[in-house]
Chains A and B, each alone.
Chain A
Amino acid sequence: MNTFRLYLKSMSMLIRSQLQYPLSFLTQTLAQLVMEAGELLAVTLLVHRFDHLNQWTGGDLYFFFGLMSVTFYLTEFWGRGLTGAFSGMVRSGQLDTLLTRPRGVLTQVLCSAVDPRRITCVAVGVVSLAMGSRMSAVRWSAGNILLLAESIFCGFWMVLGLFMIEGVLCIYSVKSVEMANTLTYGGRSACQYPVDAYPRPLRAVFTVIAPFALVMHVPASQILGKPVFGWPGWAAYLAPLAGLVVFGVMYTVFARAIRFYRSTGS
Chain B
Amino acid sequence: MAVQPQKRQGFALSYIEVRGVNKFFTVRKKRSRGALFREKETVHALKDLSLDIEQGELVGYIGPNGAGKSTTVKILSGILTPEEGTVTVGGRVPWISRKNHVRRIGVVFGQRSQLWWDVPIQDSFSLLRDIYRVPDGAYQKRLGELTEALQLGDLLRTPLRLCSLGQRMRAELCGSLLHSPELLFLDEPTIGLDAVSKLALRDFLRWENGQRGTTILLTTHDMEDITALSSRVMVLGHGRLLYDGAMRDLLARYDTQRTAAVRYEAPVELSGLPAGCQVARQGETFLVTYSPQAVAAGEVLERLRLAGPIAELTIQPQSVDHLIARMYREMEL
Contact = CB atoms under 8 A, between A and B. Distances in A.
B71 A20 contact: no
Interface string A1-12: 100011001100
B78 interface: yes
Interface stretch (B47-55, B93-101, B145-153, B247-255): B93-101
B79 A99 contact: yes
Nearest to B105: A100
Interface range, A side: 20 to 34
B242 to A, nearest CB: 22
Interface in A35-78: none
Contacts of A96: 74, 79, 109, 112
Contacts of A18: 118
A6 B133 CA distance: 10
A63 B309 CA distance: 100
Contacts, number: 76
A10 B127 contact: yes
Contacts of A189: none
A17 interface: yes
B160 to A, nearest CB: 10
Q: What secondary structure prevails in chain B residues at the interface with A?
A: mixed
Nearest to A265: B80
Contacts of A6: 127, 130-131
A20 B159 CA distance: 10
Contact of A102 (B112, B117, B132): B132
Contacts of A94: 112
A5 B131 CA distance: 11
A250 to B, nearest CB: 21
Nearest to A1: B130
Contact of A1 (B74, B107, B133): B133
Contacts of B131: 6, 101-103, 108
Interface string B33-69: 0000000000001000000000000000000000000
Interface string B148-172: 0000000000010000000000000
A263 interface: yes
Contacts of A103: 99, 131
Interface of B: 23, 25-26, 28, 45, 71, 74, 77-81, 95, 98-100, 102-103, 105, 107, 109, 112, 114, 116-119, 123, 127, 130-133, 159
19 contacts: A5-B130, A6-B130, A9-B130, A17-B119, A17-B159, A20-B118, A93-B109, A93-B112, A96-B79, A96-B109, A97-B107, A100-B77, A102-B100, A108-B131, A262-B95, A265-B23, A265-B25, A265-B45, A265-B79
**Considering the complex of A and B, which 5 residue pairs feature the smallest CB-CB distances, nearest first?**
A17-B118, A102-B103, A1-B130, A102-B99, A100-B107
Interface of A: 1, 5-6, 9-10, 13-14, 16-18, 20, 92-94, 96-97, 99-103, 108, 173, 262-265
Given A13-B116, A262-B79, 14 more contacts: A6-B127, A9-B127, A13-B123, A17-B118, A92-B112, A96-B112, A97-B112, A100-B78, A100-B102, A100-B105, A100-B107, A262-B80, A265-B23, A265-B79
